[in-house]
Chain A
Amino acid sequence: MRVNYHPILGKDERKKLVKIVVDGREMMAVKGEPIAAALLANGIRKLRKTRKKGEYRGVFCGIGRCTDCAMIVDEIPNIRTCITPVKEGMQIITQEGLGKWERK
């Protein structure tokens, strides 16, 4: 789901792509776009599961304020994916509740 032609911004001419890994699956993202945007473009809307009721959350405010979009990125949980740009080789995992903190 991408906006390939925008009435004001015009055609999406961005060519530089990076590879990211989401829950073990490789996919392509445009270099520098927010993680959540890359996931949406690849059809992924469920970003994390809540701690108490296990409900799925996705993008809510989109401006880094509400923390609904938090995922585990490169082994660090609670990363707000709507404002964090993708990088080559980024490991992204759906966060369940508190998440796991692998690195020391």
Chain B
Amino acid sequence: MSRKTDIVVIGGGVIGASITYYLSKRGKKVILVEKKDFAFGSSGACDQMIFLQTKNPGIHLELAIESKKMYKNLEKELNHPIEFQTIGGMVLIETEDQMRVMKEFVKRQKETGLNVEILDIKDGTKIQEGLSPDLVGTTYSPDDAHVNSLELIKGYIKKAVTFGAEVLVNTEVIGIRTKNGKVKGVETTKGTIGCEVLVNAAGSWAPVIGEMIGLDLPIRPRRGQIILTEEVPPYIKHDIISANYITAKYSLDRSFDNDVLGKLGVGLAISQNHRGNIFIGATREFAGYNTETTREGIRRILKHAGKLIPGIVNFNIIRTFAGLRPYTPDGLPIIGYVDEVEGFFIAAGHEGDGICLSPVTGKIVSELIIDGKTFIDAKLLNLNRFRHLT
């Protein structure tokens, strides 16, 4: 089988699906190629949060704020229910040391334009029941949200198909065809696809695609274990994380963290979905591509969760799973063309922010490919910022 198109997008997760949608919307012929099936990577093993408060103040948070704005109309635009809800978010603060770090973090967040405050624990309990009275305080931002990532992908794909996009699942990319330093097409398990541009949106597997043209991408899988409870009536009213989560994500001062929490990178991230299941996460560990959950990881997460929100201890858990966040050295995704081969575009490395940044990534990628520029300085996200590492 041999075919030809304008752009091939590799990866059927929230990033690949979003890019396929935004490119097709602007008239490009796109074929999305997915090795297994939709959401088989991180997009299908995540906590569904659009948590602005966890984004590093600066370009990271700016992107998140823009992305969240795009989410507001997305459901109508895609004409598909994605269960997007702006429910607000809280960061639970356990110790005075953490409060010190968080006060600084919140100051920088406000400077970037985020609407966020620090509350004492009494006020925190007024907006979320079941919190531990031993907490020192909590932050609150009304802008945090969550969405159903599986329905989001389905929505993007359905709409992209109406614009002429083609989607091939169970189709693995096994090679990239280049000529005179230009992308000519991809070799897949179902035949060749000729194209001008190739977008590597393979998340934690982006390095596998990068290797096909000799690129050594600085993306590593960072495992996050998550626990799912039975469906319960609405209990967790906002997206909630612990300050540990932020210190784990950015390897900030962890001298006050318990040793084991530190090694597994445990930070609480808890939210409740549309159906009533409560997601309780998570660890941050480098464990290769292993998506098993461990006894120690589950125990540490639940112990931490039970300590901060004692109200949940009588709920039943029905499932545990783990996702692989594509980790980059500076916490920002890698978006842009590469110097080595003309037509090879990367859009991967969202480390736990894929759901949040999916719309804005689609926008940036479509603008860079079609218009040659986008609304932010493209150099900030380009792979070249890591050249000094190789």
Contact = CB atoms under 8 A, between A and B. Distances in A.
Q: Do chains A and B touch in the complex (CB under 8 A)?
A: yes
Interface of A: 76-78, 98-101, 104
Interface string B220-233: 00000000001111
B235 A101 contact: yes
B316 A78 contact: yes
B311 A98 contact: no
Contacts of B233: 77, 98-101
B230 to A, nearest CB: 5
B129 interface: yes
Contacts of B130: 104
Interface residues of B, number: 12
A98 B273 CA distance: 13
B164 interface: no
B129 A101 contact: no
Nearest to B235: A101
Contacts of B129: 104
Contacts of B230: 78
Interface string B266-281: 0000000001100000
Contacts of B231: 78, 98
Nearest to A79: B316
Contacts of B235: 101
A74 to B, nearest CB: 12
B125 to A, nearest CB: 12
Contact of A98 (B232, B314, B316): B232
B275 to A, nearest CB: 8
Given A76-B314, A104-B130, 17 more contacts: A77-B232, A77-B233, A78-B230, A78-B231, A78-B232, A98-B231, A98-B232, A98-B233, A98-B275, A98-B276, A99-B233, A100-B233, A101-B232, A101-B233, A101-B235, A104-B129, A104-B311
Nearest to B230: A78
Contacts of A78: 230-232, 316
Q: Which of B130, B276, B311, B316 has most A Cβ within 10 Å?
A: B276
